[in-house]
A = this chain, B = another copy of it.
Amino acid sequence: MPESIPPAVATASTRDRLLDAASRLFYEEGVHVGVDTLCRAAGVSKRSMYKLFDSKDELVAASLERAAPDYELDLLPASDDCRSPRSRILHVFERLEHLERAHEFRGCPFVAAAIQVKSREHPASRVARRQKDKLTSFFQYEAGRGGAPDPVMLARQLTVVFDGASAQSVVQAQDLDGLAIATAGVLLDAAGLSSPDDCAVPNAITGVAESAR
């Protein structure tokens, strides 16, 4: 592998083209897609790629990092959303079910990458872990706000349901059809997160959800 050269050497557009092609190909076909195929799809030489990334492993991780903000935007409620914690948590599961129906969904890209790279120490696994921790933090904040007796545990359980519903949508040749929402709902019911007074305190939470994103 060539020596690493600082990313500043290359133009931003080369990096962007590479990361966009990598995000798409790794998600649609798998992280084993070869560097040749990837560079061809991005219209970038291998030499240019290795100027930007020390290794393909680093590229896989960077492509996940690049996809993260859009994925969060797709899943999390707006920060100035005045709904109850329960509604804001269920929003994530509604969005998951929507994403699954909207196009050919292949599961959570972060879990998919971690499962493929097979090592918890792989840079892509670290990005996946960070991303899951963000989702769990969002759940935990809302669970606490909603008065759950154990927000940490509830948040971990909701993340389990998110990942399991996402996996099931890949394995089963049928839509989730409300399964993710219903399962999360049982956990929220059990923790006493009912849904009264949606938007009774407008803007009270503005800025807080931002910190959890």
Q: Report which A residues bind B (CB closer than 8 A).
A: 28-30, 32, 106-108, 110-112, 114-116, 118, 120, 125, 128-129, 132, 153, 156-157, 159-168, 170-173, 179-180, 182-183, 186-187, 189-190
Contact = CB atoms under 8 A, between A and B. Distances in A.
Contact of A30 (B118, B161, B190): B118
Given A179-B157, A183-B161, A186-B190, A172 B132 contact: yes
Top 5 closest pairs, chain A to chain B, by CB: A164-B164, A32-B32, A160-B164, A163-B167, A163-B164
Question: Oligomeric state, in number of copies?
Answer: 2
A21 B101 CA distance: 37
A32 B163 CA distance: 23
Main secondary structure of the interface of A (DSSP, over half): helix
A157 B182 contact: yes
Identify which of A28, A112, A120, A129 gathers the most chain B CB atoms within 10 Å of its CB: A120
